[in-house]
Structure 1
Amino acid sequence: MKADHHLALYNFGLHVAPYGDPAIDGFVRRESLNFEAAVRAEGYIARSGYDGEPGPASWGVQVFPRFIESSGFTSGPSSLSLWADPESLMAFSYAGVHAEALKNARHWNVKQQWPPLVLFWVKAGDLPQWHDGVERLEHLADNGPSAFAFTFKQAFDPCGAPYTLDRARVKALTTQNLQNQQDLLRALASISL
């Protein structure tokens, strides 16, 4: 059965130092492993690339939420991706390579006063643009979770009804994903913070 919608994820943060500074080398060295772990994850659809960098095409012009203002930065670590459903995204996010990066994010990122991520549905075949993610994150920060912009803790289905995560499915997907990441996890073990 073909899905009518895909789950979009947009996240945004700010580093403790600019790109090129040794303080965030641990983040930079993990980035390619995280992208590869996502590609291997069950339920992964696609991700936006970044203008001027190798990899997938950028989904529109990359913009940043208002939380970047007065930070001294002109960009910040952010991603925009599509997933089959919340369970597949959760299984990827909170286990394996990506979970290790989340655990250590405090070393590279400032403490956020805004939601770290936003989830929203798009019609299958549509690609969200960077400005869509920014709009949804700001809406979530201003108004809390809704069918327009939500989180794992308070999710909605594509029709706007409350969505309950299937925890057993998350666990099964996590196990499968970890089997597909063994070489990445070995490579990760040799990377310092």
Structure 2
Amino acid sequence: MPRLALYTFGVLKSPLADPAPLTHEFYDIGGAIYRKISQYPGYLAHAEAADGDRGALFDADWGAWGEFAVPSWYGKGRTVETTALAATLSLWTDLRPAFEAVYTGLHREALNRRYDWFERTGRPNYVFWWVSDGVIPTWRDGVSRLEHLHDHGSAPHAFTFHHASAPDGTPHRSRGIGPKSD
């Protein structure tokens, strides 16, 4: 049975190593969100660095999730001191559970404050695609899909909640998700 991959990417206003309270707040909320989402029905897994410290994204061991990668438009630092980004890569059973996890509870509260932490880039900040059972998406897969979404818009290859595709490539039709609601 296919599984849904989700890659998110945002450029932070300040480096992850910034000692400012706003950066610490972002980390604290992010940790709480991961703990909550990992217990959500429909959540399967997310990329975690085996040995990563705060900001050590590029040099971390991501195991089966592959080497850490970012979109071509990211122009900030890549060292622990200068990295200014947040990225996630996760697997879900379907679009509905991912939608509910993103748009309810603590994650919804964080979304309401996203511009406190993130720059407005004019680029997509997330992308979905379907993977076969047993396949672990890589960071490079996520970047490729996000760049494809930016360059070509939603398609079965790379899509958003609002222009979602079912595993067979047809438009996803679920109440409150996709171009048409049932």
TM norm. shorter chain > 0.5: yes
2:2 partner amino acid: H
Q: What is the match of residue 40 of structure 1? A: 39
Alignment match, 1:127: 136
Counterpart check, 1:25 vs 2:36: no
1:63 is the counterpart of 2:66? no
Relative to the length of structure 1, the TM-score reads 0.79
Q: CA contact under 8 A between 2:127 and 2:142: conserved in structure 1?
A: yes
Q: What is the CA–CA distance in structure 2 between the aligned matches of 1:73 and 1:106, rounded to whole Å?
A: 20
Paired residue type of 2:101: F
Identity across matched positions, percent? 32
Under a length normalisation based on structure 2, what TM-score does the superposition of the two structures give? Answer: 0.84
SS in 2 for 1:101: helix
Q: CA deviation at 1:165?
A: 2.1
Moved over 6 A (4+): none
Amino acid at match of 2:69: V
- Name stretches of at least 5 consecutive residues in structure 2 with no aligned partner: 54-60, 178-182
2:62 and 2:68 in contact (8 A); partners too: no
- How has the CA–CA distance of structure 1 residues 138 and 33 changed in structure 2, closer, same or farther, with 3 Å as cutoff? same
Matches within 5 A, 1:89-168: 89-167=98-176
Q: Is contact 1:118–1:136 with CA below 8 Å preserved after alignment?
A: yes
Number of residue pairs the alignment of both structures matches: 162
The separation in 2 between residues aligned to 1:91 and 1:25, in whole angstroms, is 26
